[in-house]
Amino acid sequence: MSIPLKHFKKGSAKPELPEDGLLRLYCMHFCPFSQRVRLMLDAKQIPHHRIYIDLIDKPEWYREYSPLGKVPALQLTHVAGQPTLVESLIIAAYLNEQYPQRPLYPIDPLQKALDKILIERFVPVVSAVYPVLTCNKNAPPDALENFESALDVFEQELTKRGTPYFGGQKIGIVDYMIWPWLERIPSLKYTTEQHYELNGQRYEQLLKWCQLLAQDPVVKLSALDAQLHAKFQQSKRLGKPQYDVGFED
């Protein structure tokens, strides 16, 4: 549930939330790191409140929950002192252990470690594509080339595993942790001069994987279409991020 459907800005009063013990997710609607946590919460069907934060003009009270002003942040209202967790992977690991329904990490310790390493190997993918994805005018000319080189690791790994998902026959932690960025790649067709799209031969397995993930009921709960992502990113390029775009639709 969301209270309300808008991003809180500087000067906004702190939202009045019921003391019902539900988790409180502080996030931004278009943030892929926030989407990681949403996927975990939705996969495990954990009731929660969502509070949206304007990342350019943050409300003063938000520092109480995230000292560095980052999203996502998850407030544990059912725990004494109501502590808040930050960093998407830390939150994901906590949710997987605290809420055992539908475990997303492998049970086998070795495979669990290998999957964690694979998620870490996605960092270069994000770093390379981020300037292009966010319509940064100063994006390096070789950004997409570097992105593809880093993404090759995941095409090769999926081919090696020989399964529909990185998690095997079912979606697992790697799938949900990398999906938010793959969801956004089609927006580059609308925001780049070359109308960029992933090469169908080079990324045959990943594109099949994308089609499967897009049909997942959990993914559908937080997914936004490519044109909406593009609209938001283009507003950032103009220096006026429209965080609430889509909420009025």
3-class DSSP state of 23: strand
Task: For residue 241, say if its preceding peptide bond is cis, omega within 30 degrees of 0.
Answer: no
> Coil, strand, or helix at residue 14?
coil
Cα separation, 241 vs 90, in Å, equals 27
Q: What's the CA gap between 23 and 221, in Å, rounded?
A: 18
Structure tokens, 18: 């019921």
Query: In the annotation, is 31 catalytic?
Result: yes
Label residues 131-164 b or e (16+ Cβ within 10 Å = b). Answer: bbbbbeeebeeebbebbbebbeebbebbeeeeeb
Cβ–Cβ under 8 Å, residues 76 and 82: yes
Q: Which residues pair with 240 in a beta bridge?
A: none
Which is the catalytic residue, given 27, 31, 135, 210?
31
| Exposed e or buried b per residue across 187-222, where buried means at least 16 C-beta atoms within 10 angstroms of its C-beta | bbeebbeeebebeeeebebbbebbeebeebebbeeb
User: Percent helix, strand, coil in the chain (nearest 5)?
Assistant: 45, 10, 40
Strand-strand pairing, 73-75 and 23-27: antiparallel
Catalogue the active-site residues: 31
